[in-house]
């Protein structure tokens, strides 16, 4: 019998191995304007899997993005190399299809369908839907991958809401410095995060050595950076009419918290977005397995989060604060101020406390008081029963308490939480689905079939923003109104007249009559919509042929080695197909 050559054996082994070494943990995040950009990240054991092929039809992925070295990170095993492609110049409200990897070995490999995502609309009057989930970590440090076995089912059920965005309130893994746990996290998230982008915050379990951009968390997720530390530890991003702020409650020492608080104050003062939502891990208020005022400052004084952050929320009319840390669901009535036990003048409830607030009425927005929500039901073991009076006092003044103790605790903070402030408490595994449609925020809290005896709605609430008017529609900086000039109205047209313009002053010709409306036109310049593909501006992307080879301007004599190389590649690919067929039939 004729033995195979050494080349054939090596080729078969290499090609068979490459068939298994595919990209994994594909995930989408927002790093800039969600209407025109998207961050596509993935990991691979092959350092050359550094491209995204994408387009607006699944059969024509005609634009290729090559990830630059600055967005490539060699990580500890089993994470391989992490790649983050910052796509820009995309069209708003457009579905894009994509594969990641390299020519000849893109993932998902055909004939499987490509992955897809849809950019956000640039009109602030279009609805925004997002799902909030947190504390999806495992419960034990040993014998578990770091991520709850329930997480995939819980977040999978949330797709029934058709979210455009995921917001994670932290504690995604049990041990943030263990690469195997992040490997499990990105793999468990891929079925959802590869089609719906996320914004995240770091929980106390997500941290590791080193801090900052060197941490595994920061190296895996492509997010906005703040100008204070030039890291992703905390940041702000606008999504439709919503100004989201992600804070980091691991930054609580005397050298870090004042800087973050100063940045937050300036950021909220500068935003023109009508809705303001802040999210971070450790809760401002909670009656769960963590409690109100639990975090201490450098001097050991409790309530540092309440003392430093709530005055900023009050000053800038923050509508909604989303937290995790306690493994349950809680909602507190709209609140101003903070407790005397933490140095404040006391909490007030302008819309009424839990017994006097109208449960059928819409809640007021942040101009009246901030609504605080704890959502920690993403997979970790939940706390079914809220802590009442029979609790362990943590400090001598009995201002906050945790743990069961028959000795009792009669602290003012705890009494206020359970008697007046805490409107809803539930220990089910869950997610929070939120839709913001112009001046109305509607939230539905869904206990999932995963992790519970059955699926059910455990809370609903609305927040009304009377100040939201149609003048806010369109992209930021644009307006609707009455005016004369050339531009675009609701129908495209050229000439003088009164019309409702979404583009303000601009250039363009077309057919149709402008609509009639009232108000002042917004100002702006533009020559039309961006192209459906990448603009390739600023070195962000390179438009390549589908095969990834550029042959123009090559002298004919230099093509001889190239032709030989192509012939070799062809032979290798044929051997690869035979190896794959052998594996499939063996």
pLDDT at 561 over 90: no
Lowest mean pLDDT of 56-65, 131-140, 414-423, 547-556, name the range. 547-556
Q: E strands within 413-489?
A: 422-426, 430-437, 440-447, 456-464, 487-488
- Cβ contact 465:125 at 8 Å: no
Q: What is the DSSP secondary-structure string of 69-104? A: GGGEEE-STTS-EEEEEEE-SPPTT-EEEEEEE-TT
The predicted pLDDT at position 142 comes to 67
In the prediction, which pLDDT does 383 show? Answer: 82
**Has residue 301 got a pLDDT over 80?**
yes
Lowest mean pLDDT among 108-122, 270-284, 349-363, 507-521: 507-521
Please write the tens of the pLDDT for every residue from 125-147.
999 999 999 999 998 776 668 99
Does 14 or 340 have the greater pLDDT score?
Answer: 340
Q: What is the pLDDT of residue 442?
A: 98
pLDDT at 414: 79
Q: Is 392 in a helix, a strand, or coil?
A: strand
- CB neighbours of 128 closer than 8 A, spacing ≥ 6? 120, 164, 165, 239, 240, 241, 242, 435, 436, 437
Q: What pLDDT shows up at residue 254?
A: 86
Q: Is residue 540 over pLDDT 50?
A: no
What value does the mean pLDDT of the chain take? 80
Query: For the ranges 269-273, 420-424, 448-452, 551-555, which has the lowest average pLDDT?
Result: 551-555
Q: What is the pLDDT of residue 547?
A: 32
pLDDT band at 488 (very low <50, low <70, confident <90, very high): very low
pLDDT at position 8, please? 42
Verdict on whether the full-model pTM lies above 0.85: no
- The pLDDT of residue 409: 47
What pLDDT does 410 receive? 47
Domains detected in the chain:
6-83+92-118+555-585 (2.60.40.380), 128-468 (3.60.21.10), 477-532 (no CATH)
More confident residue, 298 or 398: 298
Structure tokens at 69: 């070295």
At residue 510, the pLDDT reads 38
3-state helix, strand, coil in the chain (%, to 5): 20, 25, 55
Q: Averaged over 563-586, what is the pLDDT?
A: 41
For residue 425, is pLDDT > 70?
A: yes
Query: What band does 253 get if pLDDT is binned at 50, 70 and 90?
Result: confident
Residue the block writes with tokens 């050359």: 48
Comparing 17-26, 94-103, 568-577, which segment has the lowest mean pLDDT? 568-577
More confident call, 385 vs 418? 418
Of the candidates 245, 32, 27, 282, which has an alpha carbon nearest to the alpha carbon of residue 155? 27
Peptide bond into 237 cis (omega under 30): no
Identify which of 273, 277, 438, 305 has the alpha carbon closest to the alpha carbon of residue 370: 277
């Amino acid at each position: 019998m004729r033995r195979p050559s050494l080349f054939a054996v090596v080729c078969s082994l290499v090609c068979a191995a490459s068939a298994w070494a595919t990209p994994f943990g594909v995930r989408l995040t927002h790093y800039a304007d969600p209407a025109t950009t998207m961050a596509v990240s993935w990991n691979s054991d092959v350092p050359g899997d550094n491209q995204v092929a994408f387009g607006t039809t699944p059969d024509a992925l005609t634009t290729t993005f090559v990830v630059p070295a600055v967005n490539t990170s060699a990580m500890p095993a089993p994470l391989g190399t992490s790649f983050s492609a910052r796509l820009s110049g995309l069209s708003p409200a457009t579905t894009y299809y994509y594969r990641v990897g390299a020519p000849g070995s893109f993932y998902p490999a055909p004939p499987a369908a490509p992955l897809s995502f849809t950019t956000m609309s640039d009109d602030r009057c279009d609805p925004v839907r997002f799902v909030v989930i947190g504390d999806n970590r495992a419960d034990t440090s040993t014998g578990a991958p770091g991520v709850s076995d329930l997480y995939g089912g819980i977040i999978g059920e949330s797709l029934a809401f058709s979210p455009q965005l995921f917001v994670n309130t932290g504690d995604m893994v049990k041990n943030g410095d263990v690469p195997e746990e992040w490997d499990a996290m990105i793999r468990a998230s891929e079925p959802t995060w590869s089609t719906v982008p996320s914004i995240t915050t770091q929980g106390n379990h997500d941290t590791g050595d080193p801090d900052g951009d060197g941490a595994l968390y920061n190296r895996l997720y492509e997010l906005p950076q703040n100008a204070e530390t030039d890291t992703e530890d905390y940041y702000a991003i606008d999504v439709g009419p919503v100004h989201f702020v992600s804070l980091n409650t691991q930054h609580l020492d005397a050298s870090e918290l004042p800087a973050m608080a100063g940045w937050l104050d300036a950021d909220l003062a500068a935003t023109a977005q009508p809705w303001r939502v802040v999210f971070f891990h450790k809760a401002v208020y909670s009656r769960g397995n963590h409690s109100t005022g639990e975090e201490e400052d450098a001097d050991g004084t409790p309530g540092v989060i309440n003392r430093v952050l709530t005055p900023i929320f009050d000053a800038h009319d923050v509508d909604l604060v989303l937290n995790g840390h306690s493994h349950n669901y809680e909602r507190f009535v709209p609140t101003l101020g903070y407790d005397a036990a933490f140095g404040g003048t006391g909490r007030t409830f302008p819309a009424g406390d839990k017994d006097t607030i109208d449960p059928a009425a819409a809640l007021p927005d942040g101009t009246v008081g901030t609504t605080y929500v704890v959502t920690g039901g993403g997979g970790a073991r939940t706390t079914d029963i809220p802590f009442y009076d029979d609790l362990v006092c943590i400090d001598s003044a009995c201002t906050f308490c945790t743990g069961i103790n028959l000795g009792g605790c009669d602290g003012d903070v705890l009494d206020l939480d359970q008697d007046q402030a805490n409107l809803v408490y539930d220990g089910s595994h869950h997610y929070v689905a939120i839709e913001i449609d112009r001046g109305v925020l509607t939230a539905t809290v869904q206990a999932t079939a995963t992790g519970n005896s059955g699926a059910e709605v455990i809370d609903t609430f609305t927040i009304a923003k009377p100040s939201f008017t149609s003048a806010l529609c369109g992209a930021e900086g644009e307006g609707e109104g009455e005016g004369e000039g050339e531009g675009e109205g609701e129908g495209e047209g050229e000439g003088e007249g009164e019309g409702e313009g979404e583009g303000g002053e601009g250039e363009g010709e077309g057919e149709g009559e402008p609509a009639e409306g009232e108000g002042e036109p917004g100002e702006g310049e533009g020559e039309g919509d961006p192209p459906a593909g990448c603009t390739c501006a600023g070195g962000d992307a390179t438009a390549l042929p589908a095969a990834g080879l550029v042959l123009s301007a090559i002298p004919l004599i230099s093509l001889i080695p190239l032709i030989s190389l192509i012939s070799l590649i062809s032979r290798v690919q044929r051997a690869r197909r035979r190896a794959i067929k052998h594996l499939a039939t063996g």
